[in-house]
Amino acid sequence: MAKSLFGARDHEGYVSREEHIKKLDTAASEDDAELAEATESLHLVRPSPGGPFSALTPSMWPQEILTKLGQPESDNDQGDYRFDEFGFRVEEEDGPEQSSNKLLSIPFIEDEKHRMQWIAHLEFSHHKEATELTWDTVDVILPRTEKLRNMVRAGIPHSLRPQMWMRLSGALQKKLKTETSYQEIVKVSSNDALMTSKQIEKDLLRIMPTNVCFSTQCGTGIPRLRRVLRGIGWLYPDIGYCQGTGVIAASLLLFMEEEDAFWMMATIVEDLLPASYYSSTLLGIQADQRVMQTLIGNYLTTVDESLKSHDIELSLITLHWFLTIFASVVHMKILLRIWDWFFYDGSIVLFQLTLGMLKIKEPNLKDLENSAQIFNSLSDIPGDIDDVETLFVNSMEVGGSLSQTVIDTHRRRHLAYLMADQGTLVGNPEASPNLPKQQLVKRQVKKNKSVIQTLLFGTENGDEDLKSKNIKQTEILVDLRESILKVSRHFLTIEPKLQAHIKLVADYTMDSHAKDHEDYINVSRNRKRRAKALHDFERHDDDELGFRRNDIITIVSQKD
């Protein structure tokens, strides 16, 4: 299929531009014919170009609905709705929303001339061998050039997106170099009794309920989405299952095969976004929200003044934008163009696009009277976007000077202070060793040795297993140390008098353990029970104790 996608190029002597384009056109028509033959041989109903489900990857086509759509209108019980090119249900009763009217009125049909320009660029710039062009001969990682960047921002042809996204993001390289195959990950993560599996099962039908592929248990995408999310949760135990990853995975599965979508997800959470983005604490994305506020203060002073004067916390609006990479807030036609750019330039695009969206809304903020109107206006920005070119122009106009170095510098500073606020850090918050792990922990499938390997090399696991065990033990100790420091800092905050008795610097000498037994006995004798207040209580009598929520109360006596 990939071979017929590109077609052949004659390398014997000079080939003129007109002759080459003619050959590409012939290859494209052959490709369409081959796909038609394949669908007929499998008895698949193929959607019409620009019609319902036409933008989906063929394996996601809902055959039952496509068959009904092909029947006479009198037999077609479809109700007051239709399906768009991506499988989303569009209500017909009230008509399309005004904000998306422009998008819905334009059919999603690939421009053949645009596709041929991309094929020609790949052939002449990223072709490894002097043979006919196939995906196997295109570079696994495409070199970054200004021409390629401009082509990506102008949009990738939809039929080329799956393969181009894999190469631009680095997911293809990750897939080819992995020691653990996707099939092995699916096998070890298929346990229904795991807490992660139970959480995923509850959310499966909530992730994309308006899309026919994910709206019922029989949807073509539900089994795939279940396996991808379970696999990510197993591979990255620091993440487990985060709801923000669900809508990203579902969106990828609309256009890519299951295994490729999994490696795209792995690349997003491990490489394109900070390591703590989807962790249980969400520290990474909290830091990015603070970075965003800093950038708004530097680049959009009018918006910054409006937010401050009306006491609006912008992260309540934008956190979900970042968490789902805009997948849950913009129209799918806009999302595809955003992801084209994101997979090329990485997470810096999130800041540039947010600045661009706020720039578009900036002139309207001065006409709004109260904080509720401003909050609602800002929340509606992504859904109001119907011209991606205007969005990109504004994004580059405001955030074009941003660099990854600037973003990383802001991230480190805000991440450090966030951790200090939560009691994790002790000492200088700017010190890089105090920052959380910058790489996600990855599980590996333990493979049993064959009989021949056992006979030749014995049953010893070797240095690699010992090294992995030591790394795991070290990580446990680091996590334990951070937990102890967090608890200690908390009690020092509420009882400063303990400063003289508690040392936050570990003493690993043998002399430090000489009085362990004596200290334990003294603590046991003098230990008093404590309680943490769950609610505020205002005393009404002199013999009552008033307290605030989260106060630590020492229990002197207990009568009931």
Q: What is the pLDDT of residue 423?
A: 57
Residue 63: HSE in the Cβ half-sphere, 13 Å Cα cutoff: 8
Same domain, 193 and 213: yes
Distance CA 316, CA 291 (A): 14
Query: 250 with 350, same domain?
Result: no
Assess whether 230 and 308 both reside in one domain: no
Q: What is the pLDDT of residues 507-531, one digit of tens each?
A: 767 777 777 778 777 777 777 777 8
| pLDDT over 90 (residue 184) | yes
Cβ proximity of 358 and 312 under 8 Å: no
Report yes or no on 486 lying in a domain.
no
pLDDT at 7: 44
The pLDDT, as a whole number, for residue 434 is 44
Examine residue 46 and state whether it is found in any structural domain, yes or no: no
**Do 208 and 346 sit in the same domain of this protein?**
no
Amino acid 2: pLDDT: 43
Q: Within this chain, do residues 316 and 246 fall inside the same structural domain, yes or no?
A: no
> Considering the entire predicted model, what is its pTM?
0.73
DSSP 3-state of 270: helix
Whole-angstrom Cα distance, residue 99 to residue 108?
Answer: 17
299 and 261 belong to one structural domain: no
pLDDT at 115: 92
Torsion of CA 372, 373, 376, 382, to 10 degrees: -150
Higher pLDDT, 526 or 429: 526
What is the C-alpha separation between 233 and 241, in angstroms, rounded? 5
Kindly report, residue by residue over 56-107, the tens digit of the pLDDT.
Answer: 999 999 988 888 876 655 444 555 568 889 999 887 554 444 444 566 667 8
Domain membership of residue 473 (yes or no) is no
Domain-ending residue, one of 272, 303, 322: 272
- Are 259 and 287 contained in the same domain? no
Which pLDDT band holds residue 133 (cuts at 50, 70, 90)? confident
Same domain, 155 and 226: yes
Asked if residue 303 and residue 323 are part of one domain, the reply reads: yes
Residue 64 is predicted with a pLDDT of 86
Last residue of a domain, one of 272, 294, 309: 272
Q: CA-to-CA distance for 292 and 158, rounded, in angstroms?
A: 31
Give a yes or no: residue 553 inside a domain: yes
What is the per-residue pLDDT across 218-273, written as a single tens digit (0 to 9) for each? 999 999 999 999 999 999 988 888 888 999 999 999 999 999 999 999 999 999 99
Question: Cα(430)–Cα(421) distance, rounded to whole angstroms?
Answer: 13
**Mean pLDDT estimate for the chain:** 80
According to the model, what pLDDT value does residue 128 have? 58
Mean pLDDT of 417-426: 65
Q: Looking at the predicted structure, is the pLDDT value of residue 457 above 60?
A: no
Task: Supply the CATH number for residue 149's domain.
Answer: 1.10.8.270
Please, are residues 351 and 295 in contact by the beta-carbon 8 Å criterion? yes
**Does residue 56 belong to any structural domain of this protein?**
no
> Given 239, 272, 305, which residue is the final one in a domain?
272
- What domain range is 237 assigned to? 114-272
Euclidean distance between CA atoms 73 and 298, whole angstroms: 58
* Residues 383, 335: Cα–Cα separation, whole Å: 11
Share of the chain above pLDDT 70, in %: 77
Lowest mean pLDDT among 42-46, 312-316, 371-375: 42-46
- 386-403: average pLDDT: 93
Average pLDDT over residues 398-421: 88
User: Is residue 138 situated within a structural domain?
Assistant: yes
Q: Are residues 533 and 395 in the same domain?
A: no
Same domain for 172 and 266? yes
Q: At 28, is the pLDDT very low, low, confident or very high (cuts 50, 70, 90)?
A: very low
- Phi, psi (5° rounding) for residue 411? -60, -45
Cα separation values, 139 from 172, 271, 315, 327, 535, Å: 10, 19, 39, 28, 61
The predicted pLDDT at position 92 comes to 59
pLDDT on residue 511 = 77
The whole-angstrom separation of Cα 104 and Cα 334 is 11
3-class DSSP state of 469: helix
Nearby residues of 66 by Cβ (< 8 Å), 6 or more positions away: 45, 46, 47, 52, 53
**Does 361 fall in a domain?**
yes
**379 is a domain residue:** yes
Whether 143 and 234 map to the same domain: the answer is yes
Position with higher pLDDT, 360 vs 6: 360
The residue ranking higher by pLDDT, 482 or 203, is 203
Number of domains in the chain: 3
